[in-house]
Structure 1
Amino acid sequence: MDYHSPWFFGYLFGLVHLVGIIAAVHAVLTVRTAQGSIAWALSLVFVPYLTLLPYLVFGRSTFDAYIEARRQANREMHTAIADLDWRPWVEEALTARNSSSYDSLRAMPKLGRMPCLANNQVSLLVNGKATFDAIFDAIRQAREVVLVQFFIIHDDHIGRELQALLLKKAAEGVKIYVLYDSVGSHALPREYGDTLRKAGVKARAFATRSGWLNRFQVNFRNHRKIVVVDGLVGFIGGHNVGDEYLGGNPKLSPWRDTHVRITGPVVACLQESFAEDWFWASRKLPPLILPETYADNGVLCQVLASGPADAQETCSLFFVEAIHAATERVWITTPYYIPDEAVFAALRLAVLRGVDVRILLPSRPDHKVVYAASSLFAFEAVRAGVRMFRYGPGFLHQKVVLVDSEISAIGSANMDNRSFRLNFEIMLLTVDKAFASQVQEMLEADFALSREITVEDSRRTHRLQKLGMRIARLISPIL
């Protein structure tokens, strides 16, 4: 065949366009949002040379293979739980007490796959030192099983400290399970995991490229941060394992983040979420542990695990429901503010109802394109009456929602399309006036160190900067 012939190039271009049309039909049938569906379909039909490869990598929005794996994991978990020695106190501990505040979140019982549970104890862990001190202390006291899951694990000082501690506990006979995301931890050397595995630690990367159809897929990422020790103590929040989370990056220091330490029945839900992810990575279940007793009094909690395997857009709907439930205030902190239309509409309606709506963002960018898109959305929110703030001292990475005087949520979900639809995320919803008061005090301290964004800031922004922001917003669905 003459590869320089015009006929060859004609057939080649025709083939590319044919594949582009097929991919466009796939986008129309599978992409969850109308805007995303239209954007992919038009670009695949008219410029497939530029968009076929990006669509192969970023285009999919449902993770079908994980759905089947989760079904199988749940069947095996139900069998394992049935073999445990259930006692009458278990049923009492797992019964959520009546709460008018929780009742205001009318969709939550069905939106969340896991139940709302009473009799939990929760404590705030503000910033990296408090978080890792608490996590490491709990692991040192482990006797049976330690479950560790992070989006990012770095082979730096804190990463090696974690590795050394896990090796020590494995030598003592404790069963250790470590799960990290293959994209988030792409810089983690192979030797880090090999060292753990040689010592008997079960260490796996959560990869979504399993199978031929997912071969090039990097769109779905496991962004969850979970630690569970002996089924007794759990941790959830925004920290990953890296020196930057302890202020080790001068450009972003001091790093502002929040974690939560949990004991009580809801820790079983953290184990369930970890087990589903571990099953995808290994096709085996980790040990499931139920403690012998629970405290009689405590905080009402619900774990909300969300991701691209959900039948609905769980994370986005949670934000919409929480904002709609607010009658007095809704305060949100997020490093990435790229809301969809439903969330932005909920914010505007809350403002019109007279709700005190505040959103706290970082003043320093860790991803410049995301920061540019976020800035444009922030200006639009200010014009709609939402009070927007920039945190001054360093990079703000915490993900916190405070609604009225009792409801709060802390976890891994950002206020952006990636968390709404593409990432596996986890949040801890709490309904308790005393704990919400602690969250309020924490956020008030953060707002005191912040500068409010005004309409004048938008007017003073150079036209070229605004152009860059608008270009960044065009690709915001995959940011």
Structure 2
Amino acid sequence: MTLEHDSVLLLGYLFALLQGLGLLAALHAVMKVRTAQGALAWAIALVFMPALTLLPYLVFGRNRFDSYVRSRREADVAMQQALQAKDWRPWVEKARTAEMAGEVDRVKAVTRLAHMPLLAHNHVRLLVNGEATFAAIFKAIAGARKVVLVQFFIVHDDELGRRLQQLLLERAAAGVAVYLLFDSVGSHALPKAYTETLRAGGVKVHAFASRRGLRNRYQLNFRNHRKIVVVDGRLGYVGGHNVGDEYLGLKPPLAPWRDTHIEVSGPVLTSLQESFAEDWFWATREVPPLLLAEQYAEDGMLCQLLTSGPADAQETCSLFFVTLINAARRRVWITSPYFVPDEAVLAAMRLAVLRGVEVRVLLPSRPDHRVVYAASNQYAEDAVRAGICIYRYQPGFVHQKVVLVDDDMTAIGSANLDNRSFRLNFEVMLLTIDSALAEQVEQMLLADFEQSLEQTAAGSKVNGLQRLVRRLARLLSPVL
């Protein structure tokens, strides 16, 4: 009887300890989680279900990233010293000339958010789908003479991944300085032999990890979702593709894979290289070589690179989308694999509809992450009721991240319409102001819409269980 009494007493103490830790974690969430919705979701779960949510909160919920903030400041100082020695900024200053144009007032907030200049005299080529994207990237790398900078969220050891590996080894053997940065979680399946082969061949390889320091050792959030390639400071690539056979549409059930990348040349490559350098410095505490082209064209379009991440003082990525939506006078078309917008973005869309702007959102018709897809379905249903046009791409999975505003502005990069891109991931988007490119993007998206079905309120009817699953998934949206 004494043993049984002691066991009950011990269980009581353990329960009280667990409940106390849950309360402390809930208080921490209230104080530290950036958004009210996220703080509320975590706090309620931690108070009422501490046994189930304490460990997930340690892994996913902590929103402190002090180590990265300190490292980024160190990187800024080191990079500025390196850039001054390379006579870097005069090129940037020369390319600022178009900033005084009146049309740029529409995106002035983006420039202030970006902490990078709006630059003229750039050229951009649209790359539709994986074949065009990797043909262009591999051709550029094969012609590299000095420096190759490569960054992807995911690198697979499959046919496409091995093609990249072989190409990087060939360039390194030819005396080119080759750098490869990949995300440690996104590329968790990449075997050690893949990177060891590259290092043995002279390629500098590192994984981006947010677990720097004891306090962050359990932190799996804050993934580096950027996709950047820069060759000799003369050609750059940014968009939605990662390195894997599925991005060529070779893996069912999501095939064919629909994605978009762009090729960039011009002064904006200074910004693209600085973004890579910041991430490389975080991983290695070294600044990679940064190059300027010998000359730039006298004509070309305005480009603004925007990088965002959890260490930003403001909600950079979310505000970027809000700014573009608010700038729309006639239309704003957006494509994203996920549609879990925050209140600010959703409100901007609704207001755009009320002032007569055509708001279209192109989404997948099949899931790659079921919980996110369920939440996305609920948001899409609500959006349709608000007058937002939702289209579901039918042939395969749509993964592109593209924004078209009116007849002159486009944005293409890595950011999705979800909380992870808005607040947890490191993202990159390239904003362009050019009517010719906007027309090309329009034709590309019109072809996508022709292969899509518009979602209607009548067609959104689901049974009670599906409705419950969607509502529960939506509750989790602040922490997805």
Q: 1:114 and 1:62 mapped to 2: Cα distance?
A: 25
Q: Which residue of 2 aligns with 1:467?
A: 468
Q: CA deviation at 1:105?
A: 2.2
Q: CA deviation at 1:87?
A: 8.9
* Runs of 5+ unmatched residues, structure 2: none
Q: Which residue of 1 aligns with 2:367?
A: 365
> Alpha-carbon deviations, 1:109-157, whole Å to 9, x = none?
2111211100101000000000000000000111111100000000000
Q: 2:332 and 2:286 mapped to 1: Cα distance?
A: 41
**Identical-pair percentage:** 64
Q: 1:67 and 1:23 mapped to 2: Cα distance?
A: 23
Q: 1:162 and 1:337 mapped to 2: Cα distance?
A: 31
Does the Cα contact within 8 Å between 2:41 and 2:475 map onto a contact in 1?
no
Does the Cα contact within 8 Å between 1:101 and 1:431 map onto a contact in 2?
no
Q: Which residue of 2 aligns with 1:413?
A: 415
Q: CA deviation at 1:216?
A: 1.2
Q: Does residue 103 in structure 1 map to residue 105 in structure 2?
A: yes
Does the Cα contact within 8 Å between 1:101 and 1:406 map onto a contact in 2?
no
Q: 2:152 and 2:364 mapped to 1: Cα distance?
A: 22
Q: Summarize the Cα distance change of 1:249–1:87 in structure 2 as closer, same or farther, 3 Å threshold.
A: closer
Q: 2:64 and 2:327 mapped to 1: Cα distance?
A: 28
Q: How does 1:197-216 map to 2 (within 5 A)?
A: 197-216=199-218
Q: CA deviation at 1:32?
A: 0.8
Q: Which residue of 1 aligns with 2:293?
A: 291
SS where residue 179 of structure 1 aligns? strand
SS where residue 105 of structure 1 aligns? helix
Q: 2:115 and 2:209 mapped to 1: Cα distance?
A: 23
- The aligned amino acid for 1:238 is G
> Alpha-carbon deviations, 1:173-213, whole Å to 9, x = none?
11111011111111111111111111111111111122111
Does the Cα contact within 8 Å between 1:204 and 1:281 map onto a contact in 2?
yes
Q: CA deviation at 1:67?
A: 1.1
Q: Summarize the Cα distance change of 1:202–1:88 in structure 2 as closer, same or farther, 3 Å threshold.
A: closer
Q: Does residue 478 in structure 1 map to residue 479 in structure 2?
A: yes
Does the Cα contact within 8 Å between 1:2 and 1:8 map onto a contact in 2?
no
Q: Summarize the Cα distance change of 1:88–1:192 in structure 2 as closer, same or farther, 3 Å threshold.
A: closer
Q: Summarize the Cα distance change of 1:264–1:2 in structure 2 as closer, same or farther, 3 Å threshold.
A: farther
Matched residue pairs, number?
478
Q: Summarize the Cα distance change of 1:100–1:449 in structure 2 as closer, same or farther, 3 Å threshold.
A: farther
Equivalent residue for 1:434, pick from 436, 459, 463: 436
Q: Does residue 400 in structure 1 map to residue 407 in structure 2?
A: no
Q: CA deviation at 1:86?
A: 5.6
Q: Which runs of 4+ in 1 moved over 6 A?
A: none
Q: 2:275 and 2:322 mapped to 1: Cα distance?
A: 23
- The aligned amino acid for 2:372 is V
- The aligned amino acid for 2:60 is F
Q: CA deviation at 1:100?
A: 3.5
Q: 2:243 and 2:79 mapped to 1: Cα distance?
A: 28
Q: CA deviation at 1:68?
A: 0.9
Q: 1:2 and 1:71 mapped to 2: Cα distance?
A: 58
Does the Cα contact within 8 Å between 2:304 and 2:431 map onto a contact in 1?
yes
Does the Cα contact within 8 Å between 1:93 and 1:294 map onto a contact in 2?
no
Does the Cα contact within 8 Å between 1:93 and 1:296 map onto a contact in 2?
no
TM-score normalized with structure 1 length:
0.97
SS where residue 360 of structure 1 aligns? strand
Q: 2:365 and 2:193 mapped to 1: Cα distance?
A: 36
Q: CA deviation at 1:2?
A: 10
Q: How does 1:272-311 map to 2 (within 5 A)?
A: 272-311=274-313
Q: CA deviation at 1:400?
A: 0.3
Q: 1:120 and 1:18 mapped to 2: Cα distance?
A: 57
Does the Cα contact within 8 Å between 2:111 and 2:304 map onto a contact in 1?
no
Q: 1:298 and 1:362 mapped to 2: Cα distance?
A: 34
Q: CA deviation at 1:478?
A: 2.4
- The aligned amino acid for 1:477 is P
SS where residue 359 of structure 2 aligns? strand
SS where residue 26 of structure 1 aligns? helix
Q: CA deviation at 1:15?
A: 2.1
SS where residue 125 of structure 1 aligns? strand
Q: Summarize the Cα distance change of 1:70–1:3 in structure 2 as closer, same or farther, 3 Å threshold.
A: farther
Does the Cα contact within 8 Å between 2:147 and 2:176 map onto a contact in 1?
yes
> Alpha-carbon deviations, 1:279-298, whole Å to 9, x = none?
11111111111222111110
Does the Cα contact within 8 Å between 1:61 and 1:421 map onto a contact in 2?
no
Q: How does 1:9-408 map to 2 (within 5 A)?
A: 9-85=11-87, 91-408=93-410
> Alpha-carbon deviations, 1:211-246, whole Å to 9, x = none?
111111111110000000111110000000000000
- The aligned amino acid for 1:345 is A
Q: 1:201 and 1:109 mapped to 2: Cα distance?
A: 35
SS where residue 198 of structure 2 aligns? helix
Does the Cα contact within 8 Å between 2:364 and 2:394 map onto a contact in 1?
yes
Does the Cα contact within 8 Å between 1:239 and 1:245 map onto a contact in 2?
yes
Q: 2:118 and 2:63 mapped to 1: Cα distance?
A: 28
Q: 1:433 and 1:252 mapped to 2: Cα distance?
A: 33
Aligned Cα root-mean-square deviation (Å) = 1.6
Q: Summarize the Cα distance change of 1:384–1:173 in structure 2 as closer, same or farther, 3 Å threshold.
A: same
Does the Cα contact within 8 Å between 2:381 and 2:460 map onto a contact in 1?
yes
Q: 1:326 and 1:296 mapped to 2: Cα distance?
A: 29
Q: 2:4 and 2:201 mapped to 1: Cα distance?
A: 58
- The aligned amino acid for 2:269 is V
Does the Cα contact within 8 Å between 2:155 and 2:182 map onto a contact in 1?
yes
- The aligned amino acid for 1:464 is L
* Runs of 5+ unmatched residues, structure 1: none
Q: 1:196 and 1:79 mapped to 2: Cα distance?
A: 30
> Alpha-carbon deviations, 1:418-469, whole Å to 9, x = none?
000001000000011111111111111111111000011123x222211111
Q: 2:418 and 2:445 mapped to 1: Cα distance?
A: 20
- The aligned amino acid for 2:204 is K
Does the Cα contact within 8 Å between 2:41 and 2:478 map onto a contact in 1?
no
Q: 1:436 and 1:384 mapped to 2: Cα distance?
A: 26
Q: CA deviation at 1:470?
A: 1.2
Q: Summarize the Cα distance change of 1:296–1:393 in structure 2 as closer, same or farther, 3 Å threshold.
A: same
